[in-house]
A = this chain, B = another copy of it.
Amino acid sequence: MKAAIYQGPGAVEIHDVPDATLSRPTDAVVRVVRACVCGSDLWGYRGVLPNKPSGSRLGHEFIGVVEEVGAEVREVKVGDLVVAPFQWCDNTCETCRDGIQTSCPNTGTFGAAGADGGQGEAVRVPFADGTCVVVPGGMAACDEATLASLLALTDVAATGLHGAVLSGVERGDEVVVIGDGAVGLNAVLGASAVLGAERVVLVSTHDDRAALGREFGATDIVPARGDEGVEAVAALLGRKPKHVVEAVGNPDAWDMAIAMLRPGGTVGSVGVPHVRPELPLFPVLRGNLTVRAGLAPARHYLPDLLQRVLAGGYDPGRVFDLTLPFGEVAEAYRAMDERRSIKTMLAF
């Protein structure tokens, strides 16, 4: 089979690799239907994470059709269309039952060393019954837009929602989202459509992303960063906000989030803090702030979000503004790296 392989900074190629096969009785093999490139894939692509070895598999987001199941797989059937979160899990241990499937003792990430990546023709899915969520009706029930939204559930829709959940925003509340990438936009959508926030302020300096943000439920756009953005948000709301989502991960976004919060406020962070992996504590202590950060337990959110997608009116897949055939995966990386695309889908 063919799979995207990391060659080094800026270089992704499709190579022949061994076919995905069952290795344990709880595995399934899934033939990929749609996959995509994640903002976090760009860290490796840009060489910011120099620990990614040349020759690595790529991609942790995919949906597909089950091709083969192991002897102990009970729920997932051959022919099912399934959505897999970016990390697999057993979904039976106490940590999974707590809804933190990303910390399951049996977890791992697709595309990491030893695992098949989503950016390939097929994937061995460990703990298939725990990991996969079956789409009722299968491929026949899905148009292109539905496939896109199902694909979004594997990571960005769940991650954006998770940021909003971590921020503590609830029905009727105000929340500010810092970051207008696919995750930030999905934080807006999650806060608005899923959690029922009444006022959702998106910090965005890109008109096209802000426009999608408005369609996703942003009631206000603040096109300013840093101190200027902090002041603009407080002026807009009449007071510093209580709930902020940090959906970037870089120091500017973190500093903005902390400075923006009112005393006693909460930041929910789902950005990956590669650039400055430490948080200054004194501002947190002085402000009695709550800091919550986490890899999104997408599996926890998947059943509900899947129902929302199929019911209509919840369309996280709209963040895909470019679709390319899998053969053009290199161009997909370039388009996202050069910010020509918010998020690029790969069709197989």
- A→B interface (CB under 8 Å): 94-95, 98-100, 102-103, 239, 262-264, 269, 272-273, 277-282, 284-295, 297
Contact = CB atoms under 8 A, between A and B. Distances in A.
Nearest to A271: B285
B277 A277 contact: no
Question: Which residue among A102, A272, A273, A288 has the maximum number of chain B CB atoms within 10 Å of its CB?
Answer: A288
A74 B100 CA distance: 52
30 contacts: A95-B262, A95-B263, A95-B264, A98-B262, A100-B264, A102-B263, A102-B286, A103-B287, A103-B288, A269-B285, A273-B281, A273-B285, A277-B280, A277-B281, A277-B282, A278-B278, A278-B279, A278-B280, A279-B279, A279-B284, A284-B294, A285-B293, A285-B294, A285-B295, A288-B292, A288-B293, A288-B297, A290-B291, A290-B292, A291-B291
Contacts of A103: 263-264, 286-288
Contact of A293 (B102, B239, B263, B284): B284
Nearest to A102: B288
Contact of A292 (B99, B273, B289): B289
Question: Which residue among A99, A239, A287 has the maximum number of chain B CB atoms within 10 Å of its CB?
Answer: A287
B291 A292 contact: yes
Nearest to A294: B288
How many protomers of this protein does the assembly include? 2
A286 B270 CA distance: 11
B279 A281 contact: yes
Contacts of A288: 100, 102-103, 292-295, 297
A290 B267 CA distance: 10
Contacts of A292: 288-291
A264 B100 CA distance: 7
Contacts of A295: 285-286, 288
Contacts of A99: 264
A239 B100 CA distance: 15
A272 B281 CA distance: 9
Contacts of A291: 279, 284, 290-292
A281 B286 CA distance: 19
Contacts of A287: 100, 103, 294
A337 B69 CA distance: 66
Given A95-B263, A98-B263, 5 more contacts: A98-B264, A103-B263, A273-B285, A289-B294, A290-B292
A328 B248 CA distance: 55
A330 B94 CA distance: 53
A204 to B, nearest CB: 23
Contact of A94 (B100, B102, B239): B239
Contact of A289 (B94, B277, B282, B293): B293
Nearest to A101: B263
A71 to B, nearest CB: 30
